[in-house]
Amino acid sequence: MKRQGQLVRWESTRGFGFIRSPDISADVFVHLRDFVDRGVAPQVGMALRFEEIHVGGKGPRAVAVEAIGATSRRPGSSPPRTMPATARRQRPAAPESGRRRDAAPSSSSVLPFVVLAAGYAALVGYGIWVSRIPAIAVGGLLLLSLLTFFVYGFDKHAAETGRWRTQESTLHLLALIGGWPGAWCAQRLFRHKVRKASFMTVYWATALAHIAAVAAWVGRFLPTALMAL
C-alpha cells in the first residue's frame, strides 16, 4: 500500500534518512538505494510516496520511494522553485546539527563508569586473591567484553544500512553476564543507543546486577555449587 510523507532527516554522507507520515506513528527509515529514481538528490522537506515494510521486527522501512511533484531533482540542478523557503533554510542545518549531537560525547555516564569499573576490577582482583575467582576468568571476561563490543558495532552498521538488527535483549544479556564494560565503550565509540533513555536504564541495571552477583560470590553469600555457572 502506497503512503505519503515528508523527508524530515537526511544523512547525505551515509545515504539514509527518515520519513514522517501522518499514517504511521514512527518515523520511517529510508535508504538511498530504495529510491526508484537513482538520480534523485534527497532533501529535507521533500514530499515522498513509498511502500512501508518491516524487517526483523524493527521499525518501519520505506521501499519503492518516489519523489512527488517538483521536489525531486538530479545532482547539479538548481533547487526546485516550489520548495518552501523554510525547507531550504533548514536543509543544510539539519545534518549539521545531527553531526553535532553525534559528535558530542555523553559525559554524564563517564564518572559512574569509571567508578564502577575501578570497583569491579578491585573486586575481581580480591576474588582471585582469596581463591574465589580463578585467574583464567579474567581472560574470559575480557573476551566477553570484546565480543559485546563487536556485536554493538555490527548492530550499528545494520541500523545504518537497514539490515537485520540484533535484539536489545541480546545486548542486555551480554552486558549482564560480564560484557558491560565492552558495551559501554562501544556505545561511546559508535554513538549507539546512548540517546535511548529506556535502553540505557536497563543497561546500567544489568551492569549493577552483574557486579552485585560477583560481589555476592566473592563475599561467600552465594553457595559454592554455583561456581560451575
Domain boundaries, the chain: 2-102, 105-228
pLDDT at residue 201 is higher than 90? yes
pLDDT at residue 71 is higher than 80? no
pLDDT at residue 223, as a whole number = 55
Mean pLDDT lowest for which of 72-86, 102-116, 129-143?
Answer: 72-86
CATH assignment of 2-102? 2.40.50.140
- Condensed to tens digits (0 to 9), the pLDDT of residues 204-226 reads 999 999 999 999 998 887 555 44
Mean pLDDT lowest for which of 64-68, 101-105, 110-114, 221-225?
Answer: 101-105
Average pLDDT of the segment spanning 54-58:
71
Q: How confident is the model at residue 101 (pLDDT cuts 50, 70, 90)?
A: very low
CB 10 within 8 A of CB 19: no
User: Phi-psi category of 193—alpha, beta or left, where left has phi over 0 and alpha has psi -120 to 50?
Assistant: left
Average pLDDT of the segment spanning 84-88:
46
User: How are the residues of the chain apportioned to helix, strand and coil, as percentages rounded to the nearest 5?
Assistant: 55, 15, 30
All 3 cell numbers of residue 125?
A: 582482583
Alpha carbon distances (Å) from 42 to 8, 53, 75, 86, 227: 10, 20, 10, 16, 57
> CA angle at residue 82 from 77 to 85, to 5 degrees?
95
Average pLDDT of the segment spanning 119-144:
92
pLDDT at residue 75 is higher than 70? no
pLDDT at residue 109, as a whole number = 63
